[in-house]
Amino acid sequence: MPTINIVQAVNQALREEMRRDDRIVVLGEDVGKDGGVFRATEGLYDEFGEDRVMDTPLAEAGIIGTAIGMAIYGLNPIPEIQFLDFIYPAFDQIVTNLAKLRYRSGGQYSCHLVVRAPYGGGIKGGHYHSQSSEAYFTHTAGLKVVIPATPYDTKGLLLSSIRDPDPIIFLEPKRIYRAVKGEVPDGEFTVPIGKARVAREGSDVSIFAYGAMLHVAMQAAEAAKAKNGVECEVIDLRTLVPLDTDAIIASVQKTGRVVIVHEAPKTSGFGAEISAQIAERAIEYLKGPILRVTGYDTPFPYTLEEYYLPSVPRVQAAIEKIMQY
């Protein structure tokens, strides 16, 4: 089984699906001849041509608006937003039109497309290339939000997303685009949307994470075991909407202690929703407060990026704190 990185997994999934379904078109800034700023679409233009791999103007509202029109008329568009930070000019198209068309038509027609975007920090991109704004989209009824953390899940979840009837925001953690590698089968396979994964079994503390923070959580779990013998269970959420609440509750019932890790600011970040679900369904199992290790409630910094992002020591400190209750 080949070992590839996340960028290669994205490219492989797009290429295989475009060969399988000629309704699929890719569009976005520099996705064509240049292969995208992170080279995720490299080679697609040469194989499928300008009618199916389209370079667009620097106009995100136009990219998403065009993709919505394509989807309504039967195509299966996959627009790329070059950085998630650039998506805000298209916000009205996404939340007002894309997310609501199926409901508005009473289910008579859908508007399926997959919006791909690299998100998060870790590349010294400053505050206009490093944001984690996934919570905006999880709050929008009608959208699914998918965030893989491994090459295997990237390919499997992207294939599932392309075939799903609903509009999907597919966020790719650019910090680990090439830093994380793993075995990924050639050919077709899917990972179900809405199912979390137990990345590490444990009995003392449940750590919930997604995207690049999964790997920080895993390292912190190993450090906690080495230092204090604490066994942490790490859950990779994989999709935020739909959220696998059953997997979350099952882990909390096992451990009774919770640490949530994400890059976005703490206030109204997705960790708040996870906390609320646990409080509603499993509060009697808790042995202490729910702790969140997150970004800070400030714009994303440039020179202090390593202090802003959740780190292994910060997660480890939260594990030690919750174990004292």
CATH 3.40.50.920 fits 197-323, yes or no: yes
pLDDT at 152: 98
Establish whether domains 3-183 and 197-323 are of one fold.
Answer: yes
pLDDT at 110: 83
pLDDT at 109: 81
pLDDT, mean over the chain: 96
Classify burial at 86, counting beta carbons within 10 Å of its beta carbon; exposed 0-12, middle 13-18, buried 19 or more.
middle
Pairing of strands 239-241, 144-146: antiparallel
Q: Sign (positive/negative) of CA torsion 128, 134, 139, 140?
A: positive
CATH architecture of 3-183: 3-Layer(aba) Sandwich (3.40)
Instruction: Write out pLDDT tens, residues 193-211.
Output: 999 999 999 999 999 999 9
Taking the C-alpha atoms of residue 38 and residue 41, their distance in angstroms, rounded to an integer, is: 8
| Residue ranges of domains in the chain | 3-183, 197-323
HEC per residue, 29-60: CCCCCCCCCCCCCCCHHHHHCCCCEEECCCCH
Taking the C-alpha atoms of residue 289 and residue 292, their distance in angstroms, rounded to an integer, is: 10
pLDDT at 317: 98
pLDDT in tens, the chain (325 residues): 899 999 999 999 999 999 999 999 999 999 999 999 999 999 999 999 999 999 999 999 999 999 999 999 999 999 999 999 999 999 999 999 999 998 988 888 889 999 999 999 998 888 899 999 999 999 999 999 999 999 999 999 999 999 999 999 999 999 999 999 999 998 889 999 999 999 999 999 999 999 999 999 999 999 999 999 999 999 999 999 999 999 999 999 999 999 999 999 999 999 999 999 999 999 999 999 999 999 999 999 988 999 999 999 999 999 999 999 8
pLDDT at 271: 98
Residues involved in catalysis: 129
